[in-house]
Amino acid sequence: MTNFAGFDSRGYRMVDVRTGYGRWVDTYEQTVEDAMDIGLLENLAEPSWATVHRAADLGCGTGRTGSWLRSRGVNGVDGVDLTPQMLAVARSKGAYEHLSEADVRESGLASGTYDLVIASLVDEHLPVLGPLYTEAWRLAVPGASFVLVAFHPHFIMATGMPTHFTSGSGEHVAITTHVHLISDHVAAGLGAGWRLVEMREGVVDERWLAVKPTWERFRGHPVSAVLVWRRPD
């Protein structure tokens, strides 16, 4: 793990995950751009979403990913998240079969059940990656995919910007952020038994600049990444 503190150029007050997302929940969906995660998922060659029977969405938040999966024909989606207020929004969408308050590293979901495990924009909140990859492996059936979307470590380091939100009073508040290099992901995934089958990076492009004009100086920098892992049969 690379310590975020050495890159922090913002100095925002930092709060833990439950506190942060519990306060961000009301504006979360207006703040998170689909280019960050959905845009990457849409361009993946695999998995074949329509053939997925059961999916586990780890760190499901307000249910953006679950709703997108439903739109792709995935009907049996279960979700877990640490923040009750985020789960309440996910519940209101009706996109999930089961939702529970749990840690992604110890989800409480049934072993060997899911042919898709997905974790989107969650890993930067974990101090180390191994337990997430191991839990995804536990949940997966042979042949399953594990799709992980990450806030790109390069972007966190180059901008010195943690995951953060703006409170009702206008204060920028950071949520505990850790930096995981892409090689940390590769080591954790291979270490858990996964095989990497696809990886894509999203860069700051015209689509991004249309919504974040102040990011012009980051044009071309990678801002998010998606890794697709397969559990060998």
Ligand X SMILES: C[S@@+](CC[C@H](N)C(=O)[O-])C[C@H]1O[C@@H](n2cnc3c(N)ncnc32)[C@H](O)[C@@H]1O
198 is a contact residue toward ligand X (CB under 6 A):
no
Nearer to ligand X, 118 or 140 (CB): 118
Closest CA to 197 of 152, 230, 156, 157: 230
CB-based contacts of 47-53 (< 8 A; 24+ apart in sequence): 47/116, 47/145, 47/147, 47/228, 49/73, 49/74, 49/116, 50/74, 52/115, 52/116, 53/115
Which residue of 41, 52, 77, 86 would you call a contact of ligand X, by CB under 6 A?
86
Closest CA to 55 of 139, 173, 167: 139
Binding map of ligand X across residues 165-194, x = CB under 6 A, - = no contact: ------------------------------
56 is a contact residue toward ligand X (CB under 6 A):
no
133 is a contact residue toward ligand X (CB under 6 A):
no
Closest CA to 153 of 163, 166, 138: 163
125 is a contact residue toward ligand X (CB under 6 A):
yes
Stretch that binds ligand X, among 61-69, 182-190, 200-208, 223-231 (CB under 6 A): 61-69
32 is a contact residue toward ligand X (CB under 6 A):
yes
81 is a contact residue toward ligand X (CB under 6 A):
yes
CB of 121 to ligand X, least distance (A): 4
